Structure 1
Amino acid sequence: MPQKGQRFTTYTPEFKLKAVNMYLEEGLGYNRVTKELNLISSSYVRRWVKNYRDHGIQGLEERRGKASTSSNQKNLPH
């Protein structure tokens, strides 16, 4: 569980794409990519690969704190 005031590392989309390419194009495994890039866990690489496959390069963009652009949002009267 995160500690109060704990800071998390934020990775750029370019860094994430590098990891994804190492996995998809170079054929390295999740654990090897994790070790090569000095990541804490291979779950980062797994998530990035999944997001890239599902959404392309936009899947690697940071989404925390961003407003949803869902079509389910109600239009408020002006």
Structure 2
Amino acid sequence: MAIKEQKFKTYSNEIKKEATRLHVEERWTYRRITEHFKIQDQSRVKKWMKSSRELGVFRLMDQRGRRKNISIKIDMFKSSDWKMKC
């Protein structure tokens, strides 16, 4: 449970993308990634991996306050018509 006036650590989209890339392509362990980027716990990286597997890079973006725009992009990304155009 959060403590009053507690500051939460946030990570940029670039760090999230790079961490997931290092795990998938370079086969880095969660421990090595957390030490390299100074991430507080390994479970954070595991959640990023799960999210990126489910919905790709759009899922790693911060979604607070912009759900409508991102959901449209995700729907477009999932649709087969969009994949054919690219």
TM-score scaled to structure 2, two decimals? 0.70
SS in 2 for 1:49: helix
Identical-pair percentage:
33
Unaligned runs of 5+ in 1: 70-78
SS in 2 for 1:8: coil
Give, as a single letter, the amino acid of the residue that structure 2 aligns with 1:9.
Answer: K
Equivalences, count: 69
Q: Tell me how large the CA RMSD over aligned residues is.
A: 1.6
Unaligned runs of 5+ in 2: 72-86
- Runs of at least 4 residues of structure 1 off by over 2 A? 63-69
What's the CA shift for 1:59? Answer: 0.9
Change (3 A) 1:53 1:10: same
SS in 1 for 2:53: helix
Name the structure, 1 or 2, with higher relative contact order (CA <8 Å, separation 6+).
1
> What are the Cα deviations for residues 32-53 of structure 1, in whole angstroms up to 9, with x where unaligned?
1111111110011100011011
Of structures 1 and 2, the larger Rg is shown by 1
- In terms of fraction of residues, the more helix-rich structure is 2
Q: Is 1:9 matched with 2:14?
A: no
TM-score scaled to structure 1, two decimals? 0.77
Q: Who is 2:20 aligned against? A: 20
